Amino acid sequence: MASNRQTFENLPEEKRGRVLNEATREFADHGYQGASINRIVDRLGIAKGSLFKYFGSKEGLFEHVFSRAVADFKGPLKAIRDSEGDFFTRIGQSLLAGAAFIDGHPHIYAIYLKMLFNENFPLRERFLGEIRRAHAKYLGALVDDGIAAGELRPDIDRGMTVFLLHTTLDRFLQHHAVPSLDTGIDPAPRSTEDRVRAVTDFLRHGLGQR
């Protein structure tokens, strides 16, 4: 059946939201393959035919859910890029903004992580490429500003610095979202703010002027 997405757009906003939330949760909990259309419609209390009228297929549903999520991803970054503060302050703000996004959209971030390491998600390349480019552009701009302002060592390699920053921020967020990544050694679990401070201090030693 051809999808008729207009039908979905015509729905009352409350119902649209419920449908998307329930679908997002299902994909987050079970991945793409494991997600069950039957469970979604059961929880929603609507007929299966309706979902297929809206989105045409399972893949169409996923595409709708995740492309909305990608748009949400990009929002908070822009605000920080335009904000004041030195390089390391803005990195700290980025960490906090990322953590806040995860806390506010845990299901979406869970889907993102599953997609990162699962080759058989549909549209994987398109979505990951989009996110990756946005992230790299964002960090590259921060690094350029930091160098221009003399806050970073002048001898650092821009590409490698972006890679290391990306590494550190991404893993910080993975840790925030999936605590089982804990080392299991640290006896005093820290607050998010404490961890942000430790990470930025570490980067300051590694990258900053002295």
Partner DNA sequence: ACACATGGTGACCACCTGGTCACCTTTACC
Partner DNA sequence: GGTAAAGGTGACCAGGTGGTCACCATGTGT
Q: Which does 37 bind (CB under 5 to 8 A by kind): its own copies, DNA, none?
A: DNA
Q: Which does 182 bind (CB under 5 to 8 A by kind): its own copies, DNA, none?
A: its own copies
Q: Which residues of 167-200 are buried (b: 16+ CB within 10 A; e: fewer)?
A: ebbeebbeebbeeeeeeeeeeeeeeeeebbeebb
Span of 46-54, 89-97, 109-117, 123-131 interacting with DNA by CB under 7 A:
46-54
Identify the residue among 13, 14, 38, 119 touching DNA (CB under 7 A): 38
Kindly state the smallest distance separating residue 120's Cβ from DNA, in Å.
Answer: 13
> Residue written as tokens 């921020």?
169
In this structure, are residues 78 and 69 in contact, taking their beta carbons and an 8 Å threshold?
no
Binding status of residue 10 toward DNA by CB under 7 A:
yes
Kindly state the smallest distance separating residue 69's Cβ from its own copies, in Å.
Answer: 16
28 burial via Cβ count (<10 Å: 0-12, 13-18, 19+): buried
Q: What residues make contact with its own copies under the rule CB under 8 A? A: 29-31, 33-34, 110, 113-114, 116-120, 125, 128-129, 132-133, 135-137, 139-140, 157, 159-160, 162-164, 166-168, 170-172, 175, 178, 180-188, 198-199, 202-203, 205-207
Binding status of residue 47 toward DNA by CB under 7 A:
yes
> Residue written as tokens 């160098």?
147
Between CA 62 and CA 10 the distance in angstroms is 19
In this structure, are residues 91 and 165 in contact, taking their beta carbons and an 8 Å threshold?
yes
Query: Could you tell me how many residues of this chain bind DNA (CB under 7 A)?
Result: 23
In this structure, are residues 146 and 87 in contact, taking their beta carbons and an 8 Å threshold?
yes
Span of 6-14, 80-88, 106-114, 179-187 interacting with DNA by CB under 7 A:
6-14
Between CA 23 and CA 186 the distance in angstroms is 37
Q: Which does 36 bind (CB under 5 to 8 A by kind): DNA, its own copies, none?
A: DNA
Q: Closest CB to its own copies among 65 and 203?
A: 203
Residue type, 108: I
- The alpha helices in 10-123, defined as continuous H runs, are 13-34, 37-44, 48-55, 58-81, 87-104, 106-116
By CB under 7 A, name the binding residues for DNA: 1, 4, 6-7, 10-11, 15, 35-39, 46-50, 52-53, 56-59
